[in-house]
Structure 1
Amino acid sequence: MGHLISAEAVVDVRVDLEPGWVEIADGTIVASGTGAPPRPADEHHDGILAPGLVDAQINGAYGADFAAATADEWDRIVDGLATTGVTAIAPTFITAPVESLVEQLRDFRGQRARLAGRPGATRLLGAHVEGPFISAACKGAHDEAFLVDPTPERVDALIEAGGADLGYVTLAPERAGALEAIERLVRAGVRVSIGHSDADDATATRAVDAGATLVTHLYNAQRGLGHRDGGVVGVALTDARLTPGLIADLHHVDPIALRVAFASAAGRIMLVTDDLSTFGMPPGRYELGGAAVVIDEDQPARREDGTIAGAAVRLDACIAHVVRAAGVDVATAIRAASTVPAVALGAPELGTLAPGTPADLVVLDAAELRVTHTWIAGRRPG
């Protein structure tokens, strides 16, 4: 007999805040349902039981940047994030010389293999390479000196280095050779995200036709919605083939824009943090891809020239923000940080409470929407 957990409310793929329960054994959900459990629960929670949170874009945490993290720092990150309810992440490596990205991907493959199955620790999904095939006009905090076109040789170098551990690549479809690069990546099993792009709507749509399925941090560092040119934002909000990421820290995106996104594409929006090494750290100077960033109290990280450079926000706080500031219903907001990214990244088994799937679960306080309990493969963090 497994461990039975019940809750006052459950959010799952097709369940919106109904009382329910799950039974877990040997790291797997063996049974689940709504209503009263089949026997007295081993533990009951007043909050909301949901699949574990999945962060599809995160650059580092707890003082460490993934681009240069040591084994000890990787350990600290996956152990620490688990306590915040984040049960899986797609580590992000930003623009750098292709040769450097190759080395970063090779190191990541080793770290991912080493950490596989670490009890109670956040899972590592395939890596996200954000650049260097992006637009200088929408570079954000990326170093323009390293921006290049996605030639077959450069794309193949990333594919070979990342192998099955390369999850997705962000690129600007207006760059020379980008559409061919999208097709090349997709054939290799790598997802493609439109981002840091000044593409018009026609070019963005061609990228989707070529196989792009994601949009990197909707609204930020991309051509906005115009009444004569929908731009990247317009395509992201209207093309059902796309899953746009959205940084809901209330600094990157205004509440009205959050509301527009969910009103246009509820069920497709995935909440991401875009957290840097600054997450979990006091104000000070840190690194992003080797460049200095500064974080002040209650402010996002910025490059020394003032350019916003990422966030330092809990993923459950993003859920709370879209509920309170944008009026999104609780179930939709929770799925945007669990089910939607899990499906978009090719790991749908992590975004459900269905029997036979990994026992990655969270309980959120119903009032604050803050994670109070986490299980990863049926184990509590720590």
Structure 2
Amino acid sequence: MSDYAVYTGAITQSDHQPAIDGQHHAVWAISNATRIDARGIQPHTWVIVDGTTIVATGTSTAAFTSACACYHIPEQAIINAQGSTITPGYIDIHAHGACGASFDDGVEGILTARHGHMIHGTTRQVLSLITNPIDTMCANLQTVHSLMAQHPDILGSHLEGPFLAFARKGAHDPNCLIDPTPDVIARLLDAANGSLRQITIAAEREHGLEAIRTLAQHGVVPALGHCDADYDMAKRAYDAGARIMTHMFNAMNGIAHREPGPIPATLEDPRITIELINDGFHVANPVLRMALAAAPHRIAFVTDAMAATCCPDGAYKLGALDVRVQDGHARLVSNGAIAGSTLLLEVAVQRAIFELGFAAPLAVEAATLTPARALGLDRANAITTAPLGLLAPGYAADILMQDEQWQVQRVWCNGAKIDTQ
């Protein structure tokens, strides 16, 4: 099967039907693959896709022949994986851009940045918006919302700010940091119109716990981060409804033996999904291994990727702030603070397997099922047409084919083949 609907900036709802010999067929299949997802490794796997959804899987050759007949799949619509690994598409719930563009840069910027992540296997993405004046943040939320109906690879927005601790602001504009007062929360919720997935918040700010409760009641997942919260405040934030820790270890108090800070509170609370930037720069490998071992099945790899992702070293912008990228590491020109990353989830999975020594299913889980579960996307929902995170019947047809080095070779999103060239 050689001619599918091809990615040209973002998947549209009509793109899911692959073209075969000039005709559109809703049903196609992959055979002779090694499936790796959060459930484990299964060789000799086959998968059948009908439209945007996986409808059948198995390992028996006889069952595959029967299923192909049942779904009327022509021979040319069967892809022989020749033993290659297939995984669910990667899901990034915290990234700011790529390919020289940011998700704050309007429609063109969003589609450009999504292209960079999509061709490396991130089939779904929450678009993280940087701290800006509230009017700008509201406008950016509206832009993301306007794209979602026709671009199901865009899962919604994540606001990283403006409710951050000044002392833990990282690369955020200090002039735009404010308290999460009820009126500002209401404005942001109204602008997002149901598309705001998560918001990073320093719970210790005035109105912080109240804001967390309000956001959770409106279906937004509050994330504790960029904070000066101590252990007790972190526990209060989680009891109020926060369910994610934004890039653990970065932009927060560390662990001290008499002042444990927010990290132990997070590790001991099974309700919390933990974001980790697995690039070896934001967090050193020994600490990454410690975190992955301490909170199994709760680690979500995120990139925190900024505009320089997929680009050479040089000068870039993060919001209104100047950034210099050297050796792939982004820092503010003004004070040297780390300014996001140039990481791809493809690389995060490779690092987990080859550098950190983790089993492939655990590495894949951290880039697929765990981030999906953090936002409730691992089950039937109003955001996606099917659950995300597994290669199983009823789940979205987001599929990656990898080589032995875990380089993404082929990508399907929502049933559509992506042109990765």
TM-score range, shorter chain: over 0.9
User: What is the rounded CA distance, in whole Å, between the counterparts of 1:343 and 1:35 in structure 2?
Assistant: 30
Counterpart for residue 12 of structure 1: 37
Partner of 1:230: 260
Among candidates 278, 287, 294, match of residue 248 of structure 1: 278
CA apart distance, 1:306: 1.2
Q: Residue in 2 aligned with 1:43?
A: 80
Q: Percent identity?
A: 36
Secondary structure, counterpart of 1:375 in structure 2: strand
Residues 226 and 358 of structure 1, relative CA distance in 2, 3 Å threshold: same
Please tell me whether residue 303 in structure 1 is matched to residue 332 in structure 2: yes
Shift of 1:340: 0.6
Equivalent residue, structure 2, for 1:359: 397
Instruction: Give the Cα separation in 1 of the matches to 2:352 and 2:360.
Output: 9
Contact 1:49–1:362 (8 Å) recurs in 2: yes
Q: Which amino acid aligns with 2:124?
A: A
CA distance in 1 between counterparts of 2:409 and 2:190 reads 40
**Corresponding letter in the other structure for 2:322:** A
The structure 2 residue matched to 1:116, chosen from 145, 148, 151, is 151
Q: Give distance in 1, aligned partners of 2:37 and 2:139.
A: 39
* More divergent stretch after superposition (231-240 vs 72-81): 72-81
Larger Rg: 2
In the alignment, the residues of structure 1 paired with residue 288 and residue 206 of structure 2 have an alpha-carbon distance, to the nearest angstrom, of: 32
Distance 2:362 2:216 in 1: 29
Q: Does 1:3 align with 2:28?
A: yes
Pairing of 1:201-240 with structure 2 (within 5 A):
201-240=231-270
Name the residue aligned to 2:48: 23
Give the equivalent residue in structure 1 for 2:388. Answer: 350
Pair 1:165–1:111, CA change in 2 (3 A): same
Match of 1:74 in 2: 110
**RMSD over aligned Cα, in angstroms?**
1.7
Secondary structure of 1:174's partner? coil
Tell me: CA distance 1:116–1:147, structure 2 relative to 1, closer, same or farther (3 Å). Answer: same
Q: Aligned partners of 1:302, 1:216: CA distance in 2, in Å?
A: 19
- What is the CA deviation profile of residues 71-128 of structure 1, one whole-angstrom value per residue up to 9, with x for unaligned ones? 3333323333221111000000121222221111112212333x425xxxxx001200
Residue 3 (structure 1) shift: 1.9
CA contact (8 A) 1:278 1:312 kept: yes
Most deviating of 20-29 and 328-337: 20-29
**Contact 2:103–2:113, Cα closer than 8 Å, also in 1:** no
Structure-2 change in CA distance of 1:36 and 1:239 (3 Å):
farther
Query: Comparing 140-149 with 204-213, which one deviates more in the overlay?
Result: 140-149
Aligned residues: 373
After superposition, the Cα gap between the structure-2 partners of 1:157 and 1:238, relative to the gap in structure 1 and judged at 3 Å, is: same
Does the CA contact (< 8 Å) of 2:276 and 2:302 recur in 1?
yes
In 2, Cα distance between equivalents of 1:33 and 1:131? 45
Contact 2:165 2:205 survives alignment (8 Å) = yes
| Inter-CA distance 28–8: structure 2 relative to 1 (3 Å threshold) | closer
Say if 2:418 is the partner of 1:381: yes
* CA displacement 1:43-96 (0-9 Å, x = unmatched): 224332111100111101111111123x33333233332211110000001212
1:46 alignment partner, SS class? coil
TM-score by length of 2: 0.85
Partner of 1:120: none
In 2, the alpha carbon distance for the partners of 1:7 and 1:77 equals 33
Q: How does 1:33-182 map to 2 (within 5 A)?
A: 33-34=58-59, 36=61, 38-39=63-64, 42-69=79-106, 71-113=107-149, 115-116=150-151, 123-182=153-212
Partner Cα distance (2:220, 2:62) in 1: 41
TM-score (norm 1): 0.93
Shift of residue 148 of structure 1?
Answer: 1.1
Please say which of residues 342-351 and 330-339 is displaced more in the overlay: 342-351
Q: 1:278 to 1:265 in 2, by over 3 A?
A: same
The answer to whether the 8 A contact 1:20-1:37 is kept is no
- Aligned partners of 1:309, 1:9: CA distance in 2, in Å? 38
The residue identity in structure 2 corresponding to 1:188 is H
Secondary structure class of the residue paired with 1:78: helix
Q: Deviations over 1:196-235 (max 9, x none)?
A: 0111111001100000000111110011122223212212
Distance 1:34 1:345, change over 3 A: farther
Provide Cα deviations, 1:226-274, integer angstroms capped at 9, x if missing partner. Answer: 2223212212222111001110111111000110111101200000111
Shift of 1:8: 4.2
Q: CA 1:6–1:303 in structure 2 vs 1: closer, same or farther (change >3 Å)? A: same
- For structure 2, the residue ranges without an aligned partner over 5 or more in a row are 1-25, 66-77, 379-386
- 1:282 lines up with 2:282 in the alignment: no
